[in-house]
């Protein structure tokens, strides 16, 4: 079956109101018709301004994290229902920077994904191995184990998986297109529920205009989760054009 490509921009802890011109530049530069889905995940402070800036646009909005709780005494947290209410369609969960910096386990990630699905959001569930794990030949075992433990029981069409080798995030290093394809194919083969062929699997980790074409040409790579390059409108557009 044909899976619709997805390019998602993760701004991480970057962006101020002065940067909202990005939305106009990206929307003006998108190919028509758009051959895939495009989503931007700005910091929480910019979610509402982006909702306004993207009005009537095909670019959708996502958040970078959500609480596993529906509401209550959880100071500083944002529930999936709140994110849905403000206009998000997607939410990233389980990014390695959350797993490492905030001690999130596979079980935590799974409960967040469940909360997102209950609120009507599409979770982008991140998986990835360290350089030590890859060099020891354990990459596939580690990542498929994360898949089994981080993803709730759901049809493949209802979630997105993002494979982001930790050693490639923000380092300028990128898995070769062939290595990335091999891991994506292993994840699809290891999908424990129905809908493996409908499951969209993105590659993330120093995706840039100059490597996006080779990555996105692979059979099991259905798009990209773009970090730093998504902050620059032209770079982001150049990546998007490779799904055409």
Name the DSSP letter for residue 73.
Answer: S
Extents of the domains making up the chain = 5-26+36-50+57-243
Inform me whether the pLDDT recorded for 1 exceeds 90.
no
Q: Which parts of 87-241 fold into alpha helices (H)?
A: 96-101, 106-118, 131-135, 139-150, 177-190, 209-216, 233-240
Which strand (E) or helix (H) includes residue 27?
Answer: helix 21-29
Inform me whether the pLDDT recorded for 175 exceeds 90.
no
Inform me whether the pLDDT recorded for 235 exceeds 90.
yes
Mention every residue, 6+ apart, whose C-beta is less than 8 A from residue 74. Answer: 67
164 is catalytic: yes
Find where tokens 């044909």 sit.
Answer: 2
**Encoded tokens for 193:** 């529920």
60 is catalytic: no
- pLDDT given for residue 157 in this prediction: 98
Name the DSSP letter for residue 3.
Answer: P
Burial of 49 (0-12, 13-18, 19+ CB in 10 A): middle
Catalytic-labelled residue, pool 95, 114, 129, 184: 95
Inform me whether the pLDDT recorded for 144 exceeds 90.
yes
- The pTM assigned to this predicted structure is 0.96
Tens-place pLDDT, residues 28-84: 999 999 999 999 999 999 999 999 999 999 999 999 999 999 999 999 999 999 999
- pLDDT given for residue 179 in this prediction: 93
Of the candidates 81, 95, 88, which has an alpha carbon nearest to the alpha carbon of residue 60? 88
**Encoded tokens for 228:** 């730093």
The C-alpha torsion from 132 through 133 and 136 to 137, rounded to 10°, is -150
**Encoded tokens for 161:** 């998986």
- pLDDT given for residue 244 in this prediction: 62
Task: Give the C-alpha separation, 217 to 31, whole Å.
Answer: 18
DSSP percent split of the chain into helix, strand, coil, nearest 5: 45, 15, 40
Burial of 156 (0-12, 13-18, 19+ CB in 10 A): buried
Catalytic-labelled residue, pool 129, 164, 184, 242: 164
CATH of range 5-26+36-50+57-243; options 3.30.930.10, 3.40.50.170, 3.30.565.10, 3.20.20.70:
3.20.20.70
Inform me whether the pLDDT recorded for 2 exceeds 90.
no
Instruction: Give residue 194's Cα distance to chain centre.
Output: 21
Task: Give the C-alpha separation, 199 to 125, whole Å.
Answer: 12
């Amino acid at each position: 079956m044909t899976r619709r490509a997805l390019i998602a921009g993760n701004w991480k802890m970057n962006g101020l109101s002065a940067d909202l011109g990005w939305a106009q530049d990206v929307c003006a530069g998108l190919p028509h018709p758009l051959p895939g889905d495009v989503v931007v995940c700005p910091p929480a402070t910019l979610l509402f301004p982006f909702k306004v800036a993207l009005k009537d646009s095909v670019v959708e909005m996502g958040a970078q994290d959500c609480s596993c709780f529906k509401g209550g005494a959880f100071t500083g947290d944002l529930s999936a229902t709140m994110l849905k209410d403000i206009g998000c369609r997607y939410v990233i969960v389980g990014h390695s920077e959350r797993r490492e910096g905030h001690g999130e386990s596979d079980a935590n990630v799974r409960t967040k994904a469940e909360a997102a699905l209950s609120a009507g959001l599409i979770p982008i569930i991140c998986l990835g191995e360290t350089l030590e794990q890859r060099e020891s030949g354990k990459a596939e075992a580690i990542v498929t184990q994360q898949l089994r433990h981080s993803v709730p029981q759901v049809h493949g069409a209802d979630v997105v998986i993002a494979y982001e080798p930790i050693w490639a995030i923000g380092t300028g290093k990128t898995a070769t297109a062939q290595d990335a394809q091999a891991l994506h194919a292993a994840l699809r083969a290891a999908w424990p529920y129905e809908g493996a062929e409908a499951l969209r699997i993105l590659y993330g980790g120093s995706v840039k205009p100059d490597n996006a074409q080779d990555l996105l040409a692979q059979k099991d790579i259905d798009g990209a989760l773009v970090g730093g390059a998504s902050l620059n409108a032209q770079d982001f557009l150049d990546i998007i054009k490779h799904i055409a």
